Amino acid sequence: MYRSLDRCVGTCLRRGRQCMTRLGNSASQAVVCAQFPCHGPHSMSPLDFSTVYVAFKAVWALVNIASGTSDHTQNVIQSSVVPEFVNILRSHFRIVELKKKATWALGNVVDDSPEARNSVLSDGALKPLIALIDIGVNSSMSRAAVKTLSNFCCVKPPPPPFEQIVRN
């Protein structure tokens, strides 16, 4: 039963992501208005899915939403999935593509505003990102991690609180 449900959810996520990619912010806005990612006790975590394929599609959809308007990015932050992205980076999954998508999602969130950047820092993203570079999984993963780390530095002033950098 889980396989057919995962396949159905995966297909829905893939088609939704493709729609958002083709239609841009208007499609992302429709997804945000429908409250995906969901809020509250029925929210879906990318790590809740029984297959990496479905988690990958869910994270990819969230990458697209976080790359939209500032309101879209705020919706991603408020839905509490940023700690899930960090958990994916920390996890022992050997699926590089899933970690790379989570890295891009974090980069899109960080790029939004100083408040978004500080929120991602508070969720402990810095060490797992640096670890992805240290372990040298592959050049594509390292590039994504470096790009996301550069977003921490390139966001508009003020700089992040020094305590957050040291604590991470």
User: 31-46 burial, b if ≥16 CB within 10 A, otherwise e?
Assistant: bbeeebbeeeeeebbb
Overall size of the chain counted in residues = 168
Containing structural domain, residue 64: 2-167
**Taking a C-beta distance cutoff of 8 angstroms, is the pair 38, 75 a contact?**
no
* Separation CA 46–CA 54 (nearest Å): 8
The per-residue pLDDT for range 65-96, each reduced to its tens digit, is 888 899 989 988 988 889 999 999 988 766 88
The per-residue pLDDT for range 138-165, each reduced to its tens digit, is 788 888 999 998 888 886 778 787 777 7
Residue 83, pLDDT score: 92
- Overall domain count for the chain: 1
Half-sphere exposure of residue 119: CA atoms within 13 angstroms, side-chain side:
23
CATH number for the domain that contains residue 123: 1.25.10.10
* Separation CA 150–CA 91 (nearest Å): 23
